[in-house]
């Protein structure tokens, strides 16, 4: 054996640049279903296809269906980058499209079927959609859209005389032999979602293969949703809105049993499905939780879980009362925060080991926050003067974020529409505080804050307080113009139990200074919602202008 001069060898190597030895394997969305097909072939996707009716596919069957749809799309000779829109409910065929479309290098564009025909026509036109896959029962909506914009190719999931091409025909096509592999630009577009358009026209956010896979990985960690292949998820967040919080990707990657609610489900059916299929977690928005809690509390003998159910909430802030009520039922409610621009998840709430030693009230303060940024998401809060605010739990400012799965621009065809600050942070429009340990709390939307006499009043905080009253089921707080103070708060709430305006003011007076109390209170039977289930404050501000209230 030759004698080696280690000193000389070290000196020679130290003078050279070191080379990366890692494989250059691109991140590709279809690799997620490929994994499920190989490792979890018998795990299930359960689709509700009607009242008390379900249909079950295994991941092996789902993958075959997706490959067949991809083969059918390929036979249409669509160019690379073709936008393929879906106007579909949450079911297995829609989930298959999530993988069939990118498998032929096309771009998935789920359409929010709760939008108006005019809004949908604008979104279709802006995205440049060339193909639309539509559920048969949504053709009346499609007909209204087609009065405004024509889509060259319509594929019906079902049958209709006016549209001869069906999804079943695509399923009967020669399937792809295998999922795509080899050299590939992981930054290529894979999907488009549009913002809700509460402050103007909806804006398109374009996701890449890379951003989508990284988002799925981070969300799947214990410090994200904390899911595993042992879970069964009932996903009420629809496949037609912000990619159902990424569950079509993360859930499939992990081989999770998925329960998809189909069309027009009610909360009684939700609980029936959860019990029947032993769901370990339900994902949805606070609008659902109010009715689910009422059902569980009034009919405790009908639904019973022998384990601690997890409730994952987003879209808008869950009220403190919801946390208490779920806890009494041995269910854990977990908050988070995100937006379409964030793919959409950016934070999740969970207690750290040291928190279990804290008093219950301090633990509750953390549980009701909007959590910690999930791994690889950076956050900061910026004041009105453009300076970074302290992480002290009190200083507030606009929440700004950045990550590999957060957009920097909106879809545009002429000049760039930036979503960010000059130094590259997403401008969220949310006002927040951040504790020293990193937990964020959304105080309000910038456009919903009420500035009265130069002082700020949080609409979110007052709404949360109102919804903690046992006689109030929903509440919205909006600003109304005032000649003296600039703006004053107005409350619009839902109560079915004879609550009076005086009762509400007396209740709020326990928690707020006199100058913060609402100028007027309206008690009504229901509150308007946006297409994503949030309170439609834009509409409320129009409905309750001072002249209207008077």
Which residues form the catalytic set? 195, 341, 451, 456
DSSP type of residue 166: B
> How many angstroms separate the CA atoms of 174 and 115, rounded?
35
Q: Which two tokens stand for residue 47?
A: 């689709």
Q: Which two tokens stand for residue 514?
A: 């006199």
Residue 494: alpha-carbon gap to chain centroid: 26
> How many angstroms separate the CA atoms of 93 and 98, rounded?
9
Tell me whether the omega of the peptide bond preceding residue 48 falls within 30 degrees of 0, making it cis.
no
Q: Which residues of 384-399 are buried (b: 16+ CB within 10 A; e: fewer)?
A: eeeeebebebeebbbb
Q: Which two tokens stand for residue 490?
A: 């107005």
Q: Which two tokens stand for residue 251?
A: 């859930």
Angle at 109 between CA 119 and CA 251, to 5 degrees: 125
Query: How do strand 396-402 and strand 409-410 relate by DSSP bridges?
Result: unpaired
Q: Which two tokens stand for residue 69?
A: 């749809």
Helix segments in 350-429, DSSP class H = 360-367
DSSP type of residue 437: T
Query: What phi and psi, each to the nearest 5 degrees, are found at residue 168?
Result: -60, -40
Residues 312/176, Cβ–Cβ less than 8 Å = no
Length of the chain: 550
Q: What angle do the packed helices 360-367 and 320-328 form, to 10 degrees?
A: 120
Q: Which two tokens stand for residue 422?
A: 């000059």
Instruction: Tell me which long-range contacts 165-171 makes (C-beta under 8 A, separation of at least 24).
Output: 167/69, 167/93, 167/133, 169/72, 170/68, 170/69, 170/71, 170/72, 170/73, 170/100, 171/65, 171/68, 171/69, 171/72
Q: Which residues of 105-137 are buried (b: 16+ CB within 10 A; e: fewer)?
A: bbbbbbbbbbbebebbbbbbebbbbbbbbbbee
Query: What phi and psi, each to the nearest 5 degrees, are found at residue 373?
Result: -60, 135
513 burial type by CB count under 10 A (0-12 exposed, 13-18 middle, 19+ buried): exposed
Half-sphere exposure of 176 (CA within 13 A, CB side): 23
Q: Which two tokens stand for residue 378?
A: 């950076």
67 Cβ contact list (under 8 Å, min separation 6) = 100, 103, 175, 176, 179
């Amino acid at each position: 054996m030759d004698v080696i001069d280690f000193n000389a060898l070290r000196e020679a190597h130290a003078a050279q640049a070191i080379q990366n030895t890692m494989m250059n394997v691109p991140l590709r969305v279809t690799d997620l279903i490929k994994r499920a097909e190989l490792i979890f072939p018998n795990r299930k996707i359960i689709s509700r296809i009607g009242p008390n009716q379900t249909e079950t596919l295994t991941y092996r069957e789902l993958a075959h269906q997706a490959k067949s749809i991809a083969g059918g799309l390929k036979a249409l000779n669509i160019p690379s980058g073709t936008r393929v829109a879906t106007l579909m409910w949450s079911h297995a065929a829609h989930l298959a499209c999530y993988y069939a479309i990118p498998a032929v290098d096309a771009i998935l564009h789920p359409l929010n079927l709760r939008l108006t025909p005019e809004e949908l026509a604008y979104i279709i036109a802006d995205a440049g959609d060339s193909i639309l896959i539509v559920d048969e029962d949504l053709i009346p909506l499609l007909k209204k859209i087609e009065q405004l914009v024509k889509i060259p190719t319509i594929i019906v999931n079902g049958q209709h005389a006016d549209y001869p091409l069906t999804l079943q025909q695509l399923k009967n096509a020669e399937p792809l032999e295998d999922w795509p592999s080899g050299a590939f630009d992981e930054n290529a577009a894979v999907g488009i979602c549009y913002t809700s358009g509460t402050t103007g026209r909806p804006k398109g956010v374009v996701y890449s293969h890379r951003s989508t896979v990284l988002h799925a990985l981070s969300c799947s960690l214990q410090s994200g949703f904390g899911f595993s292949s042992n879970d069964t998820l009932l996903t009420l967040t629809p496949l037609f809105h912000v990619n159902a919080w990424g569950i079509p990707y993360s859930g499939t990657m992990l081989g999770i049993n998925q329960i998809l609610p189909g069309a027009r489900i009610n909360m009684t059916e939700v609980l029936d499905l959860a019990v029947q299929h032993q769901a370990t977690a339900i994902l949805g928005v606070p609008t659902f939780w109010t009715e689910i809690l009422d059902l569980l509390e009034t009919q405790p003998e009908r639904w019973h879980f022998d384990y601690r159910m997890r409730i994952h909430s987003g879209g808008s802030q869950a009220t403190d009362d919801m946390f208490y009520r779920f806890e009494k039922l041995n269910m854990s409610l977990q908050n988070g925060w995100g937006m379409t621009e964030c793919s959409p998840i950016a934070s999740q709430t969970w207690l750290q080991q040291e928190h279990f030693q804290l008093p219950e009230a301090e633990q509750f303060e953390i549980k009701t926050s909007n959590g910690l940024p999930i791994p690889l998401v950076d956050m900061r809060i910026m004041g009105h003067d453009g300076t970074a605010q302290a992480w002290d739990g009190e200083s507030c400012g606009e929440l700004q974020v950045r990550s590999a799965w957060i957009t920097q621009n909106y879809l545009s065809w002429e000049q760039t529409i930036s979503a960010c600050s000059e130094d590259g942070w997403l401008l969220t429009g949310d006002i927040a505080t951040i504790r020293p340990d990193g937990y964020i709390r959304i105080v309000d939307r910038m456009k919903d804050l009420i500035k009265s006499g130069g002082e700020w009043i949080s609409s979110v905080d007052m709404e949360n307080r109102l919804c903690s009253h046992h006689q109030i089921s929903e509440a919205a707080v909006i600003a109304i113009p005032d000649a003296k103070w600039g703006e004053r708060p107005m409350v619009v709430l839902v109560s079915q139990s004879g609550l009076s305006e005086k009762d509400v003011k007396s209740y709020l007076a326990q928690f707020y200074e006199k100058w913060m109390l609402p100028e007027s209170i309206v008690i009504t039977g229901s509150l308007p919602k946006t297409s994503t289930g949030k309170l439609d404050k834009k509409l409320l501000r129009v409905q309750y202008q001072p002249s209207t209230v008077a």
